Amino acid sequence: MTENNINELQQTTFDSIRQQDQSGNDFWSARALAKVLDYSEYRHFLPVLERAKDACRNSGQSVSDHFEDVLGMVEIGSGAKRQLPDVHLSRYACYLVVQNGDPTKSVIANGQTYFAMQTRRQELADNQVFTRLSEDEKRLAIRNELALHNKQLAAAAKDTGVETSLDYAIFQDHGYRGLYGGLAAKDIHARKGLKKSQKILDHMGSTELAANLFRATQTEEKLKRDQVNSRQQANQTHLEVGRKVRQTIKDLGGTLPEALPTPEKSIKQIASAQKKLNKLDDVAND
């Protein structure tokens, strides 16, 4: 299947059942989503909904913000309709639903790609300040966010038994190998032509940083959701998530991370220049 066909399938399958409330916010009917995800009966879909709610709760989000219990009119045959319980799902809720569905169903595999990327795109589109930033400013913003999520990822990995600095280095290498098509951190470092003291994350453009941020956040969620309890399983999880993000980039026709250019300026240089500008602004405003 070509990239265009994949995108068309995702668009047809999920956007066709998207609805809007009176405020113009997108939502999906759980009953409609269950049908397109190939669940023969809604009752078989209910456990998936519950797992998605648990994932929402565990991520620190309010379940009620993303899962709204409603009564909806449902066709029961011969044109007749009956009022039955339904759930209005936000885009994020749909993402959690497909992440917790049966991955052997091809439509769910497509859904995992679709909602993951669309959720992230929507987050960035909603942030009008971010869209006005220069490339250097975007790099700095994403790098700071990645630093925060790497700490959270390290904490989640520690709960699985990734305790020593060597354990964590091996764990991180698995994530890079998945995302970069088998390249380890030292390989990426060499491809970028960096000195031993330079960090690869400080020499990535905004697109490459965003891919690594997505890898980190999704690995953290999966470690918690799957209740991973061993170093070996944690390493494998990180590898699989990296591969999934890589495949998503391929499916969307993006440039693979190892093929992206290395910026001339490092994050440290950008941060230093930003500090100088802030000092000049402070002096000018005194």
In the block, tokens 């995702």 appear at 10
Distance, in Å, from the CA atom of 38 to the CA atom of 22, rounded to the nearest integer, reads 29
**Residue 115 confidence (pLDDT):** 65
Tens-place pLDDT, residues 100-145? 887 677 777 666 666 666 666 666 555 555 667 789 988 988 898 8
Environment class of 130 (CB within 10 Å of its CB; exposed 0-12, middle 13-18, buried 19+) = middle
- Which is more confidently placed, 119 or 41? 41
Tokens of 41: 């009966």
- Model-wide pTM > 0.75: no
Backbone φ and ψ for 83, nearest 5 degrees, come out as -85, 120
Tens-place pLDDT, residues 160-212? 999 999 999 999 999 999 999 999 999 999 999 999 899 999 999 999 999 99
Helix (H, G, I), strand (E, B) or coil at 160: coil
What's CA 85's distance to the chain center, in Å?
30
Distance from the first to the final alpha carbon of the chain: 62
Which residues lie below 8 Å from residue 43, measured CB to CB, with a gap of 6+? none
pLDDT band for position 1 (cuts 50, 70, 90): very low
**Residue 112 confidence (pLDDT):** 67
Distance, in Å, from the CA atom of 166 to the CA atom of 201, rounded to the nearest integer, reads 19
**Residue 99 confidence (pLDDT):** 81
Tens-place pLDDT, residues 230-264? 999 999 999 999 999 999 999 888 899 999 999 99
Tokens of 31: 């009953």
